Structure 1
Amino acid sequence: MPGTWESDAMTQQIAFTAPHWAATEAGLEILQRGGTATEAMVAAAAVISVVYPHMNSIGGDSFWLVHTPGDEAPLAIDACGRAATNLSAYSKKTQLKSRGGEACITQAGTIAGWQTALDQDPRASLELSVLLEPAIRWAEGGIIVTQSLADAVRKVLDEGQAPESFRELYAPDDKPLAPGDKFMNPALGATFRTLAENGLRDFYQGSVAQRIQQALKAMGSPLSEQDHRQTQADVVTPLSVSLTGLRCFNLPAPTQGVHSLQILAQVDRRRSEMTSKADWAHLIIEATKQSFADRPVILADPHTVPSAYHDALSDAVLQSKADRIDMERAREWPFPSELGDTVWMGARDASGQLVSFIQSIYWEFGSANVIEDAGFVWNNRGISFSLDAGDINELLPGKKPRHTLNPAMALYDNGQRLSYGTMGGEGQPQTQATLFSRFVWQGASLSQAIAEGRWLLGRTWGDVDDDLKIEADLADEIGEELTRRGHRWRQVPACNEMMGHAGAIFDSGSEVSAATDPRSDGRAEVV
């Protein structure tokens, strides 16, 4: 059972996986210096904000699961920013802006999350200057622009809403960044240098904070100096569900962790009936529909969720949802969908500490507003609020928005452990379930579970359609059978980035394996 391992009986292998190889490199650098998985994740989180700025930034949010051998459950950290306290400017609006200063409604919690994770780690001892040095190096020395980054820049520019600050940084002289370009961001490097010297709290209460507040005020954001100063991350009780032979963990509201766990629990209850790839895909798709149908009425700020949210992982509710799945007929779709751009990363240190981490600004480049002289964009997470009075996700002062982010972890009854996750908006629970079922229940290797063809029901980053999309290689195998069962779907190219950037680390106790997604620019490594 978890909690019975002796650390000196475990392998001392270290591992890191990230959707960009530079973040993996940074994480491994810290681990090889004797740093903890938490410290390695902070270093990688800083680096990936430099090399994948369209997917995340230090102007966004993050969530953590950290497991130490001997603990019955992982430590969970909610670093979600809250809405501004003065929202009078939004009282008569009928629609929230997705870009620009008016979209900058919520605090940026991720740096507070880094600090909380380090504070909660009794073995963390490396200087902050060491942890942030790789990010400084990349920001000042320059990165090579990936296709993913170039496509996201072009998408924001094509919307016609890009603020001048965005154009100055990502399309200087009206020349958008292109694949292969060298992109330097000295302002972001200087921000990290200041944080390394003054501490992470400087982001909220120091010279960096002053630059942030000046920029937010100038762009028309409702976030006040006090709103920014009071940003905090919370240690919370993780959600969990017991499946056959293991327990799965995720983050509670406002994240969609409850839906990720609901889907897995439904699949566990019906998996003995599965005989083909089409069966597995149909089951997970239908379990997703059963769970997502409740999302508009149960998922919101943890202080406003209804009693139905607290019952969502009860045996009665889970069994009822599983029983309603018709293995011969697809349920009607769509339901309201949500977008989201994100990075997920995993780490394991030599002492066995295991981390599942996710960081985001919501849409690609978030609000697209660059904080002047600081080199990063602010999130637009606030657009997931509702302006409808009485909605459980109604925009109100100090409230947390409904969140797509949800890092995952599984603790086996025999002591084995799995850290896993993905980017991809509402695709996250689906991809988690697919990865998990292939690896845990179908016998695929970690790499196979991630690399093989996937599907997406609803929307993810860079996409506007609510339909069922299936990658070509998988569609060739199961498309005809899904059509027979009533699924309306369309084919997309194989190894498609819209399916998200998944990753995982598996710790058997005697050996560690790691994998990353070929749909990303990532790398997974075990040493």
Structure 2
Amino acid sequence: MTAIGFSAPHYQASEIGLAVLREGGSAIDAMIAAAAAISVLYPHMNSLAGDGFWLIHKPGEAPRAIDACGPAAGLASIEWYQYQKQTTIPGRGPLAALTVGGTLGGWQRARDIAAETQANIPLPELLAPAISLAKQGIRVTDSLAAASHKVMMEMARLEEFQRVFAPGNQLLEAGQTFTNPDLADFIAQLAHAGLDDFYRGALANDIASALTAVGSPLRLDDLHGYRAQEVAPLSVTTRLGQCFNLPAPTQGLASLLILAIYDRLFQPGWDESVRVHALIEATKQAFLVRDREVFDPRRLSERWPALLSDSHVEQLAGQVGLQALPWPQPAAPGDTVWMGCVDKNGVMVSFIQSIYWEFGSGVVIPDMGLVWNNRGVSFSLDPQHSNALAPGYKPFHTLNPAMMLLDDGRRISYGTMGGEGQPQTQAALLTRYLYDGLSLEQAISRGRWLLGRTWGDNNHDLKMEQDLVDILGDSLSARGHMIKPIPAHSELMGHAGAVVHTADGRVAAASDPRSNGAGLVGEAVGVAG
């Protein structure tokens, strides 16, 4: 197998990942190089102090999953926040920086898995492109500029954020060059000392001191105690093959339920309006289950093992009617990047990395240019809530990279950013490609919808891009859907991507026109490892 492919929401990350693959590096090598680079290219979407999740498939083996999300600090109790005179966890600032950033621990666990079959490329080589980008500068995208303007007021009192991301008291503008030399130095230290330095080395000491100084509950012991975990992926079987996703605390359950319910209902003679209606209604059923069942793994109910069973899927499918179920339900926002790839040996990766809201907590570690996540905002300070804050517990995650192994031998790595939109966009992408027969590019670019919240938006309505409204709006409205039109190819719909590997070794890759991304394919010519 020599065909290779990479998809990322920024073309430079795709180019960096493909270059590693072309030289013979593993899919995991390539993903780490791209993940480091995209933390520089898309600093509003992700950070090396954020979280990550992996799905890894080696041909002939079962897919493997890595949970690289961090738990709440040992000090982060409901009582501690009440002592700070808080009734809810603040969205920005030091009190929002309450969970360990797990993504670098996930990189290390992935490298351990890669090393079982192929020597890893040294970190200095993998991280060199990210270091160069941070030093020499990136071109500010429209997305980064819009996020910079949006958070201006929220971040006004965070001096280090202002110093790094509003240099000279000027907001970032599309087209300008933005440098982050402190982040370059931080990544260079990782390359020199190893990823574990973030948790148990000199970097950890400096990070813990900085977080303590600004008032975060995180301490050195929290970093020392963290290690990413390999976990058993969730799966569900459809008429076309087996779908895989991440278990709790992610919403991977919801993504799989949507596909399973739709597969149970699907009839080839449906027109597009019925197909979209069925996907929207399947989403509602899946979200009701998700909101009732998905929490820290230690809080899962006795119902958990049966939630993807045939009988439960059949029950949920039976609740989908010809008319729209009244909505909305509570939802959660999120900021994320998804990337996927396949290497010369057919190893496939689906990967997500996130800081939750744009620019996370806004807390930037001095001399590192590193933005801390605010994933802990999704905890509740109500002790009776099923997602109640507790030291060492993990918050609910919207993140869920996906993969499918088809009965015809094809394999698909796919995913998106976009909070509530992630399961819905995954379903739209996959069903259009597999059930409707669209090309990968068409499946991603065609007009989409989103029920509930996405990144940068807190409304619970049914958003639909205008090009799709023009085609399906009347028929869906007749079924009771209350549609809010938004412009075509809106970034609110997320940044989707996919990589397909066929049984005979061919590769296709695509990325969302709503992003700055690229789906690239090529041939491996090197012999790394």
TM-score tier after normalising by the smaller chain length: over 0.9
Instruction: Report the alpha carbon displacement of residue 414 of structure 1 after superposing the two structures with TM.
Output: 2.8
Helix, strand or coil at the partner of 1:102: helix
**Which of 210, 217, 222 does residue 215 from structure 1 map onto?**
210
How many pairs were matched up?
A: 515
Asked whether the equivalents of residues 155 and 161 of structure 2 are also in contact (C-alpha less than 8 Å), the reply is no
Unaligned runs of 5+ in 2: 523-529
Q: In 2, distance between residues paired with 1:62 and 1:274?
A: 40
Task: After superposition, give the CA deviation of every residue in 1:140-177 in whole Å (9 maximum; x if it has no partner).
Answer: 11000001001001111133655111111111222101
**Which of 85, 89, 105 does residue 96 from structure 1 map onto?**
89
Q: Does 1:516 align with 2:511?
A: yes
Asked whether the equivalents of residues 211 and 372 of structure 1 are also in contact (C-alpha less than 8 Å), the reply is no
Give the corresponding residue for 1:459. Answer: 453
Asked whether the equivalents of residues 258 and 283 of structure 2 are also in contact (C-alpha less than 8 Å), the reply is yes
Give the corresponding residue for 1:399. Answer: 393
Give the corresponding residue for 1:38. Answer: 28
Task: After superposition, give the CA deviation of every residue in 1:361-406 in whole Å (9 maximum; x if it has no partner).
Answer: 0000000111111111000000111112122211001001100000
Q: In 2, distance between residues paired with 1:235 and 1:125?
A: 19
Instruction: Report the alpha carbon displacement of residue 274 of structure 1 after superposing the two structures with TM.
Output: 5.2
Asked whether the equivalents of residues 116 and 233 of structure 1 are also in contact (C-alpha less than 8 Å), the reply is yes
Task: After superposition, give the CA deviation of every residue in 1:209-263 in whole Å (9 maximum; x if it has no partner).
Answer: 1221121111211011100111110000000001113000000000000000000
Helix, strand or coil at the partner of 1:483: helix
Asked whether the equivalents of residues 98 and 376 of structure 2 are also in contact (C-alpha less than 8 Å), the reply is yes
Give the corresponding residue for 2:8. Answer: 18
Give the corresponding residue for 1:83. Answer: 72
Q: In 1, distance between residues paired with 2:153 and 2:82?
A: 30
Give the corresponding residue for 2:527. Answer: none
Q: In 2, distance between residues paired with 1:184 and 1:206?
A: 26
Q: In 2, distance between residues paired with 1:60 and 1:125?
A: 23
1:207 alignment partner AA: A
Q: Cα gap change, 1:479/1:162 in structure 2, threshold over 3 Å: closer, same or farther?
A: farther
1:82 alignment partner AA: P
Instruction: Report the alpha carbon displacement of residue 415 of structure 1 after superposing the two structures with TM.
Output: 2.1
Query: What percent of counterpart residues are identical?
Result: 52
Helix, strand or coil at the partner of 2:20: helix
Give the corresponding residue for 1:4. Answer: none
Helix, strand or coil at the partner of 1:279: helix
TM-score, with structure 1 as normaliser: 0.96
Instruction: Report the alpha carbon displacement of residue 308 of structure 1 after superposing the two structures with TM.
Output: 2.5
Give the corresponding residue for 2:498. Answer: 504
Q: Does 1:449 align with 2:447?
A: no
Q: Does 1:263 align with 2:254?
A: no
Q: In 1, distance between residues paired with 2:192 and 2:339?
A: 26
Helix, strand or coil at the partner of 1:264: helix
Q: In 1, distance between residues paired with 2:302 and 2:438?
A: 38
Give the corresponding residue for 2:488. Answer: 494
Give the corresponding residue for 1:361. Answer: 355
Task: After superposition, give the CA deviation of every residue in 1:72-98 in whole Å (9 maximum; x if it has no partner).
Answer: x21100001000111242146321100
TM-score, with structure 2 as normaliser: 0.96
Q: In 1, distance between residues paired with 2:154 and 2:36?
A: 28
Instruction: Report the alpha carbon displacement of residue 314 of structure 1 after superposing the two structures with TM.
Output: 1.1
Q: Does 1:316 align with 2:311?
A: yes
Give the corresponding residue for 1:436. Answer: 430
Q: In 2, distance between residues paired with 1:108 and 1:119?
A: 19
Helix, strand or coil at the partner of 1:240: strand
Asked whether the equivalents of residues 418 and 494 of structure 2 are also in contact (C-alpha less than 8 Å), the reply is yes
Q: In 2, distance between residues paired with 1:392 and 1:139?
A: 41
Asked whether the equivalents of residues 92 and 154 of structure 2 are also in contact (C-alpha less than 8 Å), the reply is no
Moved more, 183-192 or 166-175: 166-175
Asked whether the equivalents of residues 408 and 503 of structure 2 are also in contact (C-alpha less than 8 Å), the reply is no
Task: After superposition, give the CA deviation of every residue in 1:89-122 in whole Å (9 maximum; x if it has no partner).
Answer: 2146321100000001100000000000001112
Give the corresponding residue for 1:6. Answer: none
Q: Does 1:383 align with 2:367?
A: no
Q: In 1, distance between residues paired with 2:46 and 2:481?
A: 33
Once the two structures are superposed, the pairs formed by residues 94-493 of structure 1 within 5 Å of their partners are 94-121=87-114, 122=116, 123-159=118-154, 163-272=158-267, 275-327=270-322, 329-493=323-487
Helix, strand or coil at the partner of 1:410: strand
Unaligned runs of 5+ in 1: 1-10
Asked whether the equivalents of residues 356 and 408 of structure 1 are also in contact (C-alpha less than 8 Å), the reply is yes
Helix, strand or coil at the partner of 2:499: strand
Asked whether the equivalents of residues 458 and 468 of structure 1 are also in contact (C-alpha less than 8 Å), the reply is yes
Asked whether the equivalents of residues 153 and 176 of structure 1 are also in contact (C-alpha less than 8 Å), the reply is yes
Give the corresponding residue for 1:8. Answer: none
1:41 alignment partner AA: M
Once the two structures are superposed, the pairs formed by residues 53-72 of structure 1 within 5 Å of their partners are 53-71=43-61
Instruction: Report the alpha carbon displacement of residue 315 of structure 1 after superposing the two structures with TM.
Output: 1.1
1:212 alignment partner AA: I
Q: In 1, distance between residues paired with 2:242 and 2:72?
A: 33
Q: Cα gap change, 1:318/1:495 in structure 2, threshold over 3 Å: closer, same or farther?
A: same
Alignment RMSD, CA only?
A: 1.1
Helix, strand or coil at the partner of 2:171: coil
Asked whether the equivalents of residues 418 and 495 of structure 2 are also in contact (C-alpha less than 8 Å), the reply is yes
